Structure formats: structure tokens, C-alpha cells
Amino acid sequence: MERNSHRVTKGIERTPHRSLFYAMGYTKEDLNRPLIGVVNSQNEIVPGHVHLDIIAKAVKEAIWAAGGTPIEVPAIAVCDGIAMGHMGMHYSLASRELIADSVETMAMAHAFDGLVLIPNCDKVVPGMLMAAARLNLPAVLVSGGPMMAGMAGGRPVSLSQTFEGVGACSAGRMTEEQLTELEENACPGCGSCSGMFTANSMNCLTEVIGMGLPGNGTIPAMFAARTRLAKAAGSAIIQLVAENIRPLDILTPKAFENALAVDMALGCSSNSVLHLLAIANEAGVPLDLEKINEISEKTPNLCRLSPAGPHHIEDLYRVGGVPVVMAELAKNGLLHNDCLTVTGKTVGENLENVGTPDGTVVHTVANPCSKTGGLAILYGNIAPEGCVVKRSAVDPSMLTHSGPARVFDSEEDTNAAILGGKIQKGDVVVIRYEGPKGGPGMREMLSPTSALAGRGLDKDVALLTDGRFSGASRGASIGHVSPEAAAGGPIALVQEGDIIDIDINNYQINLRVSEEELANRRKNLTLLPPKIEKGYLKRYASQVSSASMGAVLK
């Protein structure tokens, strides 16, 4: 059978190519096997990635054993937590496109036959899935797994409590000693941070959409089962190459509908909207924000994992993981069972003999946490192209809210106002010029949302931004307002004291200002100049699309 790698290994004209392989220690026998790119984003700056050398080693051993030749290549990864709240966060979302481009570059330049993708955190998972869809080479993704929850004050905690602790300490609601205890115990070891934050959301959805093996989303990083899963992924890629099963055979419209359904049931990060749109774009699958509300309306929320509730990813793992959630949805006609997956089997076949919900960590469809899904897309005169909220993490009292706008043109100014006690109950904090283009890079607003929660205002204050939120954010945190301020969107027209009406369950958000007044304001509008005028971010800002389109590069 003709293989992709024959472009660099076969024929007299490839003599120089083989010579270069021999220089690295590869043998003739190695070059006769399928060449499998093992894309490893291991580094020493991201807790979720520091151990990925162990995962890569297991993957490579299994590829050798199954008859392939593994070739490890690198990928970058940004730690959103360490990048949070300063210049570094401009680079987080923007890194997704670099990751996709670099995987494409390495795979195409070196003629790999297949790929095993090894990410773990936030933008690395979707970046690699975007590349897989773009390349359409046989591929399987195996992540590094979630971190265990920490213990502080006699209760399980995660990174989100450390951010909220800053606000609590500044408000006198927590002592510095208690904050130090959180700091030292919230993150007990390697893995992606332990709640249903963006990294774990995307690792779970990778499993659902069919590009990861069952267990990819929930097996803890430190468990031996994670290493066994890596070996299973190494074996699976050889089978995928042999059977010529490719990502576009898996990433179908029905597969994306499955991902959205489980997204709603799990209560995943609002960032999952951006990433699913971007992956669908690469796969050529039509997907828009209206589809999200359509699925949210009919799919109940079955889990309240941190930050929406007390449970963590390890708890979901112990009650059967993502397959239990999928099986419960499938039983109630809310999942497509006929979608192909990297196991070589369909979703339905993978779910045979899966257990049932425990009723505490995972609820049943008959007794859900809420009858509608974890995410909602809101529309109105302030967001004509939509904005997104993690509905499952909003206190019921804030599902409808009206209040005066408190307007800021940067995250830094917002933080100073919150920590300075200048935000009052009932306010609607508006942070603009933080979108994909205006940020640039659409920074996560975890520091402001955590400061509000730490000061006890998360049940009284809404936050609206053309930026985005960490999966660790909770409260009435409404992001991805589109069009963004830097593109002249209506959010740029909001003035201090304007009343904003929010109705999450009816998918509405409106500025209580007449169209005539908005038109007058637009005549006098002067957009802020770009915040960064050099390097990659300047290029990114000039090419990036709206958040409503997944913030992909044009």
C-alpha cells in the first residue's frame, strides 16, 4: 500500500532523504514501517504538561510494538494560569493558531503517515484538533490528564479558589494565612487544573467527538491508567493508518452535535464555544451560535463540577467518567450513536456495558441539575452577533438582572476598581477593547470575576466583556460580545450608568438606550488605537475574525 511517508523513504531519488534518517539512527527496517509523528507539547512551565514525557514514552513504546516508527516532534504550550492578569494573557488564545500551524508544518514537511497528538491544557487541545482536521491524516489525541483537587481548610479546592482568595483577602473576608494555605495546597501536582475548566472541558469533548479514546477526559494525570491509555493510543494509531480512518471521517456534523450535547450536560467552559467553532471551521462543518442554543434548549445539565459545584474531575472519573454521561444522553435520544471514533467503533459500540449515573456527581435526565444546558448564547442590541455565558455557573438570582453599566476599557482598570471597592451590588461591569482584535488575543477575565466572587459580589454583579473568561470563572460572566469594540461593535457605545437588561433563560441582553441615541453616539465614536503594534500579536490582530466565528484567522 502506498503511504504518505514513501515521499521521503522510497525510490532512488530519495537517497539523500534516507541518508538523513540514517544520520539520526533510523534503520532500513524503521523506514519500512509507518512513520508516526508523536507531537509532544511537554515543557517545564505548564503544570499540565510537565509530565508529558511519560505519556510520550508510553505512546512511542506502543507504536514500536504495533509495527510503526514513532518520531517525536515538539509543540508549544502556554499556561493560562501563569499568563493570567498581565501581558502574557494576550498570547494565550493567539497560541492556538501557532500550534495548529506548527503541527501542520512538521507533519507536511516530513511526510508522516499518522499522528498521535499529546496536549493537555487550554489552547493546545483545540490547536492540535484544528491541525488534525486540516491535515486529515490518521490521528488520535491523548492528553496528560487532570490534576487532583487540593485540600485546604478541610475541603477540596482547586486553582479557582486561589484567584477568588485574592479578592476575599482584599475585602477582609479571608486572612493572609488562609490565603497562603490555599496557595500552597490548591495545586497538589501535575495535570490540567482539577475543575471543569477549559483544558478539562476540551479533553472531555475530544473523547465525545471521537478523536480521543474513552477515558481521555477524566483519568487523573498521576494514575497508571493514564499511562495505559497512552499505550492504547499508540496501538490505535497503527490501526487507524491500516484502516485509513481519517479525522474527517470522524469530525462530521453529527459528531459536533454530540460534542455540544455533552458540553451542555457537563457544564463545560464557555471557551468550548470558541474552540468547537474553530475546529468545525477546519473540518468544513457548518456550525453557528444558533445551533448551540438549539441543543442547549433540549439537553439538560447533568453535572455541577467546579467552579459551578463542589465536585472535581476526579469525582467524575470515579463514577464512570464521560461515557456515563454519554450513555445517559444516548438512552434518552440526545446523542447520535452511529458516529465513528478513533477506536474504530461507533459511539454506540463504545457505550455498550457502560454504567449508569450515580445521582450525585452525574444526575439522570429525569432528575437533572437543570432542564437546559450549561451554556447559553445571548443576543440583543449590545451583542447582535451574540455573546456566551456559562449558565450552569450563574446563581439563579442572577439569571435575570438589570443594572447600571460601569464601563472600563481594560482588564487592569477593572481590577483596580473591584479591589478598590468601587463596584456596588447591582452593577453591570463592562470590559471592552479586550476582544480578539482589540485585546489583542481576547484575554481571559478570571482576575475580575474572581475578585468579584472573593468580595462576595458574584450573586449581585454581572460582568460583560468582548473578551472571554477562564473556565474557572463563575457568576453572571458574559463574554465573547460580538462584534467587539475594536470592530465598532455596540459595546463601544455603552456609557457609564446606561441600564443593561439581562435575561439568560430567554437568551436576551439589551442596552436600554434608544436606537436614535445609539446612532448619535456612533457619529461621535472614536475607537481606541491598537494596544500592541509589533510582533506576532500585531499580525494576529490584523487577521483574526470575530469571536462569533471562533476567532479564527482569516
Residues taking part in catalysis: 470
User: What's the rounded Cα separation, in Å, for the pair 476 and 493?
Assistant: 21
DSSP one-letter code for 467 = S
SS3 501: strand
**Torsion angle, alpha carbons of 102, 106, 108, 109, to 10:** 120
DSSP one-letter code for 185 = H
Beta bridge mates, 340: 346
Type and span of the H or E element at 418: helix 411-419
Nearest to 358 by CA among 327, 396, 330, 332: 327
Place of cell 473556565: 471
Q: Strands 383-390 and 375-380: what pairing?
A: antiparallel
Phi-psi region of 497 (alpha: psi -120 to 50; beta: other; left: phi over 0): left
SS3 383: strand
**Torsion angle, alpha carbons of 427, 431, 435, 439, to 10:** -160
Q: Are 117 and 139 in contact (CB under 8 A)?
A: yes
CA pseudo-torsion sign 400, 405, 406, 409: positive
Q: Are 143 and 129 in contact (CB under 8 A)?
A: no
Q: Are 493 and 521 in contact (CB under 8 A)?
A: yes
User: What's the rounded Cα separation, in Å, for the pair 276 and 549?
Assistant: 10
User: What's the rounded Cα separation, in Å, for the pair 509 and 402?
Assistant: 10
State the burial class of residue 166 (Cβ atoms within 10 Å of its Cβ: 0-12, 13-18, 19+).
buried
